[in-house]
Amino acid sequence: MLQVVGAGLPRTGTKSLQAALERLLGGRCYHMHELFDHLDHVPAWRAALRGEAVDWESVLGDYAASVDWPASAVWDQLAKANPSAVVVLSVRSDAATWWDSVSSTIVHSLHDDRPPSEVEWQQMLRELFGRLTPDWDVPSEPARALAMHDAYERHNAAVRAAIKPARLVEWRAGDGWEPLCAALGVAVPDEPFPKLNSREEWWARRTRAT
């Protein structure tokens, strides 16, 4: 069973959050990057996006937490399947800051030439954007940005409305360890909070991969 269900969208500090939760929980945390070692999981995530039942034990049985897409796109399913888990909604300062980060990183993965083994992963990524809003790929960037800003706000509002306050932690990267430790009932580590996956690091990793 998951101890933490991450409900925050990508580019909300989720890679840093992954490292922090692994430190606090002493177990692995599922993040989009995990999928490149487990491409066999992609069909299950696509099924979940369609609202179909998924054997979560076969996908997440070895993990203590989940953050980022694709897991955070089905946060409601995972919260229901793990009723004792803390739900962490990671957010940015505002929708415009979030979209600026997403559009300068993840969006580029939609247009990469991927090896055959990753074609289904790329299709899943398109489906994840489409789940946020059908206007995610309109040709006008101002119109697309406005649609994505609205989608970001709707996503966060849906989490806040569905999860009881006692179970929900709304977290920004600058908040550090304390809110997470308080919710999990663990001591605050005597070490700096992880700071990972800046835009520069994202592009460096992408360059190495290609």
- The string of pLDDT tens digits covering residues 100-155 is 999 988 888 888 888 899 999 999 999 999 999 999 989 888 999 999 999 999 99
Confidence of residue 200 (pLDDT cuts 50, 70, 90): low
- What's the one-letter identity of residue 197? N
Alpha helices by DSSP H, listed for the chain, are: 14-25, 42-49, 56-60, 75-81, 95-103, 119-132, 141-162, 178-184, 199-209
Model confidence at 199: pLDDT above 70: no
Q: What is the pTM of this model?
A: 0.93
Question: Edge-to-edge, what's the strand order for the sheet holding 28-30?
Answer: 28-30, 63-66, 4-6, 86-90, 168-171
Q: What is the mean pLDDT of the chain?
A: 93
- Structural domains of the chain, ranges and CATH numbers in brackets: 4-209 (3.40.50.300)
Nearest CA to 26 among 3, 56, 60? Answer: 3
How many residues does the structure list for the chain? 210
Beta strands 4-6 and 28-30, pairing class = unpaired
The widest CA-to-CA distance across the chain, in whole angstroms, is 49
Residue 108 is predicted with a pLDDT of 82
Confidence of residue 206 (pLDDT cuts 50, 70, 90): low
